[in-house]
Amino acid sequence: MTAREDDLLTTGEAAVLLRSSRQHVVDMCEQGLLPYVRIGSHRRLRRSDVEAVLRPELTRDQLKALWLHRAVAGRLVSDPDGVLAKAAANLERLRSVHPDGMAAKWLERWREVLDAGVESVLTVLTSRRPDDVELRQNSPFAGVLPEAERRAVLAAFTQSWRSDRAA
């Protein structure tokens, strides 16, 4: 654990990081949602625990999608025109299948991301932000990875997942 992760914060400092009130942090502590230690009569929270609230853990499926989309990002940087053309064609097909509802909203968001260019697409493909995690669940990048590469990424992910759980 680094010194930064081991930093102890006051409830007020944690509230600033969480962009919430100090009372909300106290309530989270009392509800068992945020671990703390007592030093005298004061609560202290590990910085890493507070930061974990800001970056919640991904589910196995979300993490698997992140791994696959990182591989797509690798393809994107080596062939931006080809990957974006494939995604745009997939997006149009998906939009015709899902003209309304939540899927249509996510697909419209993908249209905006694709229109914004390669840097925006790379950010969404590799980000852990909750909106980007959700956006990847309606990905237009099917078929970008050759099947052998897709299987290799999934095998590597499975191996990593098992190793992380065993540790």
Model pLDDT, residue 7: 87
Model pLDDT, residue 6: 62
User: Band of the pLDDT at 88, cuts 50, 70, 90?
Assistant: very high
Q: What is the pLDDT of residues 14-59, one digit of tens each?
A: 999 999 999 999 999 998 888 999 999 999 999 988 887 887 678 9
Model pLDDT, residue 67: 97
- How much is the mean pLDDT over the chain? 91
Over 50: is that where the pLDDT of 122 sits? yes
d(CA 20, CA 120): 29
Where do the domains of the chain lie? 3-54, 60-166
* Beta carbons within 8 Å of 48's beta carbon, 6+ residues apart: 1, 5, 6
User: Structure pTM?
Assistant: 0.68
Model pLDDT, residue 167: 67
Over 60: is that where the pLDDT of 3 sits? no
Give the three-state DSSP class for 43. Answer: strand
Q: How large a percentage of the chain has pLDDT more than 70?
A: 95
Architecture of domain 3-54: Orthogonal Bundle (1.10)
Overall size of the chain counted in residues: 167
9, β-bridge pairs: 45
38, β-bridge pairs: 43
